[in-house]
Amino acid sequence: MRKIALEEHFFTPELADYSSSTKAIASTRAWAEASRRLADFTEKRLPDMDAAGLDVQVLSLTAPGLQAEPDAKVATAKATAVNDFLAGIIAEHPTRFSGFCALALQDPGKAADELERGVTQLGLCGALVNAHTQGVYLDDPGLSVVWECAEALDVPLYLHPANGVDKSHVFSGHPELEGPMWSWGVDTATHALRLVFGGVFDRYPNAKLLLGHMGEGLPYVLWRLDSRWDFHNRHGIELQLEYPSHYLRRNLFVTTSGAVSSAPLLCSILALGADHILFATDYPFESISKACEFIANAPLSEADREKICFRNAESLLNVKPVHP
């Protein structure tokens, strides 16, 4: 079955240094191997894809990417360069690669312009942002211009984890809990809820948020969010839709990245519906072949498997259903 994967990372040697914070949490050997694959497209990546039966990778700049650049001008210039680079890779392998824009949200107006250029001129199919940008989250009113642009272009915004701004006391003495194993998911789920309660989806009802890792736990907690929202008398917040789950069911799309397990997959389908679940592998941090084997054998109807493997991606990303 055709497979399009949505959380597939790369970097350029020039941008590799931004990942030093990530390097610290990964074991040196694992990171060295991942680094080789992040910078490669044809020697390892395409053969890995072929061996596993993966048709298309939608590429994105690995965490934390441009979000880690303190200087807005530098970040903006690097965004243009890396998106041009990405478009070049896609042009060389148009049936195998697609891509998400990297955005320098340090300058929101320029980031919106770059999103428009990326989609309309470079053929990219949305944007991927790695967590906060210098402490600013995506519900910041200053970033409305980016949501407005994404909604007008009808492209999704993929929120990928990275290290949080600060360390919560609950992690003290337990550095193993910081990073992709645990804290990234908590940070990213919280970030997504800021968008709901910050009214982003009231202002941009057709905005589409993508989360990896089977929704970072959110599909599991929909009922409790709604129940405690009422218990706390909605904290005096007025949202247009009645419950938090209404936004998550409407505006949230989740990918299977880094979650090769039927329990969260079935939970996500029950919570959000199969139309909101998309395949991803989290290459090179996870195995493409394990992810492909998992989705091929997961306990799904063939109609749902097709949606998750490629049909939802074709419609969400406006990818033409070309089947080479």
Could you say whether residue 100 binds ligand GRE (CB under 6 A)? Answer: no
Beta carbons within 10 angstroms of residue 42's beta carbon: 11
Binding-site size, ligand GRE (CB under 6 A): 9
- We find the least distance from the C-beta atom of residue 304 to Zn ion, in angstroms, to be 24
Which is nearer to ligand GRE, 180 or 244 (by Cβ)? 180
Q: Which residue has the tokens 């060295």?
A: 32
Q: Which of 67, 66, 61, 76 is nearest to 133 (CA)?
A: 67
Is the peptide bond between 219 and the residue preceding it cis, with omega within 30 degrees of 0? no
Q: Which does 107 bind (CB under 5 to 8 A by kind): ligand GRE, Zn ion, none?
A: none
Which is nearer to Zn ion, 201 or 285 (by Cβ)? 285
From residue 11, how far is each of 201, 233, 283, 307 by CA, in Å?
A: 31, 46, 12, 29
- We find the least distance from the C-beta atom of residue 68 to Zn ion, in angstroms, to be 15
**Which of 107, 151, 282, 304 touches Zn ion (CB under 5 A)?**
282
Site string for ligand GRE, 203-242 (x = CB under 6 A): ----------------------------------------
Residue 208 to residue 218: CA distance in whole angstroms = 15
Structure tokens at 78: 């690097």
Structure tokens at 195: 């968008």
Q: Which long-range contacts (CB under 8 A, 24 or more apart) does 183-189 make?
A: 184/131, 185/161, 185/213, 185/216, 185/217, 186/216, 186/217, 187/131, 187/161, 187/163, 188/131, 188/159, 188/160, 188/161, 188/213, 188/216, 189/215, 189/216, 189/217, 189/218
Which residues are 292's β-sheet partners?
Answer: none
Q: Which does 219 bind (CB under 5 to 8 A by kind): Zn ion, ligand GRE, none?
A: none
- We find the least distance from the C-beta atom of residue 130 to Zn ion, in angstroms, to be 9
Which is nearer to ligand GRE, 164 or 244 (by Cβ)? 164
3-state SS of 130-190? Answer: ECCECCECCCCHHHHHHHHHHHHHCCCEEEECCCCCCCCHHHCCCHHHCCCCCHHHHHHHH
**Which stretch in 45-53, 196-204, 226-234, 280-288 sits in contact with Zn ion by CB under 5 A?**
280-288
Name the active-site residue from 48, 55, 107, 282: 282
**Which stretch in 73-81, 134-142, 275-283, 295-303 sits in contact with Zn ion by CB under 5 A?**
275-283
Site string for ligand GRE, 4-23 (x = CB under 6 A): -----x------------x-
Residue 277 to residue 66: CA distance in whole angstroms = 27
**Which stretch in 1-9, 88-96, 181-189, 248-256 sits in contact with Zn ion by CB under 5 A?**
1-9
Which is nearer to ligand GRE, 31 or 243 (by Cβ)? 31
Q: Which does 26 bind (CB under 5 to 8 A by kind): Zn ion, ligand GRE, none?
A: ligand GRE
- We find the least distance from the C-beta atom of residue 179 to Zn ion, in angstroms, to be 12
Q: Which residue has the tokens 């910081």?
A: 178
Which residues are 272's β-sheet partners?
Answer: none
Q: Are 138 and 123 in contact (CB under 8 A)?
A: no
**Which of the residues 51 through 80 are near ligand GRE (CB under 6 A)?**
62-63
Q: Which residue has the tokens 């938090």?
A: 244
- 40 as an active site residue: the answer is no
Burial of 152 (0-12, 13-18, 19+ CB in 10 A): middle
Site string for ligand GRE, 272-291 (x = CB under 6 A): ----------x--x------
Which is nearer to ligand GRE, 215 or 258 (by Cβ)? 258
Residues of the shown chain interacting with ligand GRE in the complex, contacts defined by CB under 6 A: 9, 22, 26, 62-63, 180, 258, 282, 285
Catalytic residues: 282
Residues of the shown chain interacting with Zn ion in the complex, contacts defined by CB under 5 A: 7, 282
